[in-house]
Amino acid sequence: MVFAGVGGVVALGVAAKASRGGYDGLAAAAGVIAVLLGLSAARSLWRVLVTRPRSVVVTAAGLAISAKDGDRVLAWPEISRVRVVTEDSKPWLVVWPHTPDRTLGKRHTRREGGFRVHPVSHHHGKRRQTQDIQNLRTALHRHAGKAYDPTP
């Protein structure tokens, strides 16, 4: 967001300077870049201010899932299986409830009955992603009991 905002301001400055110097082609190109970077910055700001971040808290009582469509608490007795599934290098926390409930999230397509409820570090580097997966698996192992499936 910061990069796009600063880049947009710099591109506007380049466009203004090029326009005064008679470089109309450069001014037009810099103007287009300024508009694109400005739109990117506005979109990022909108997402930060308006959308709610997704989060999952693993507790002894169950999973507390917070998403843009609301909060939900799943107690461990409601969950038949839970595990971290990696699909296309993107890990997800997947839950198989005893009674299927469509409010959990997008149905996980490769596992029958499972729901992808939380992306695990999709926008972080490999080292951070590996650490977050390990931390999540440790918490699930500690709290989920028989519902935790350690299969990678």
What is the Cα–Cα distance from 20 to 1, expressed in whole angstroms?
A: 29
Residue-level pLDDT at 106: 60
1.10.10, 2.30.29, 1.10.1060, 1.10.8: CATH of 55-147: 2.30.29
> How confident is the prediction for the chain on average, in pLDDT?
81
Distances (CA, A) of 80 to 5, 67, 102, 107, 124: 47, 22, 16, 16, 30
- Total Cβ atoms within 10 A of residue 105: 22
Q: What is the pLDDT of residue 90?
A: 86
Longest CA span, the chain: 72
Q: Which residues contact 103 (CB under 8 A, 6 or more apart)?
A: 69, 72
Q: Is the pTM higher than 0.75?
A: no
pLDDT tens-digit readout, 60-111: 999 888 877 677 888 999 888 999 988 788 898 888 888 776 666 665 555 5
Confidence of residue 137 (pLDDT cuts 50, 70, 90): very high
Amino acid at 56: V
Q: Number of helices and strands (H, E) in the chain?
A: 3, 6
Q: Which residues have a Cβ under 8 Å from the Cβ of 122 and sit 6 or more positions away?
A: 90, 91, 129
pLDDT at 134: 93
The token pair at 13 is 């400055």
